[in-house]
Amino acid sequence: MRSIFFVISCAAAALTPLLPQKAAPPSHFSFPGWPETFEGRALMMLPLTQRERSFEAAYPGKIGRFSDGEREVVLRYVAEKTRKLHPSADCFKAIGYEIEPRPLWIAPNGMRWGSYKASRRGVVLWIYERIYDNAGNSWTDVSAWYWSALGGQTAGPWWAVTLAQSEPKELQVGRRQEQQRQRQEPGPL
């Protein structure tokens, strides 16, 4: 009996992709515009790279690059659930960066961010990213967001935010203090 149920389940799973799907949503959407500030800092728009412009042409939303004076802020407005929203680490890898995963970062305001370090030819960037909807839901990785969207646990539109900055100041200060402490310690006898 169990083997019959298993065979039927496998057949259903195999045939599911062949079922007719809902028509694709219209390619137009209502974009609310870019925010003027992020985390209390004014945003200055930066031009998209050629690669970003090409990607945006087939993307179900909008992509914007900004600077807040200290960090680069990439905002992706996502109008519908899509596999075209991918982790920013994929983009960094594609242009030659080495990626080092970092622990989940919880900002002082309680927001959770996925994080990693991207390095290339002596340039080190600390990257933070999250996705959120207008209902207060948020995700620190694209896969979790996608499955929530696919399962109907969230409805768009969504915002995907990626922050790129040089080494955070608190780490720079801590590293400098450690270096000073090591210089003051007596060496081995």
Backbone angles phi, psi at 84, to 5 degrees: -75, -15
Smallest CA-to-CA distance from 130 within 88, 83, 84, 68 is with 88
Higher pLDDT, 179 or 133: 133
Specify whether the CB–CB gap between 183 and 177 falls below 8 A.
Answer: no
Residues 6+ away with beta carbon under 8 Å from 59: 76, 82, 84
Q: What is the mean pLDDT of the chain?
A: 82
Least confident of 50-59, 71-80, 127-136, 166-175: 166-175
Q: What is the pLDDT of residue 185?
A: 56
Q: Which pTM was predicted?
A: 0.74
Give alpha helix (H) positions in 24-104: 50-57, 88-94
Query: At residue 118, does pLDDT exceed 70?
Result: yes
Q: What is the pLDDT of residue 44?
A: 97
- In this prediction, residues 43-47 reach a mean pLDDT of 97
Return the exposure string of 47-61: e unless at least 16 CB atoms fall within 10 Å of the residue's CB, then b.
Answer: eeeeebeebeeebbb
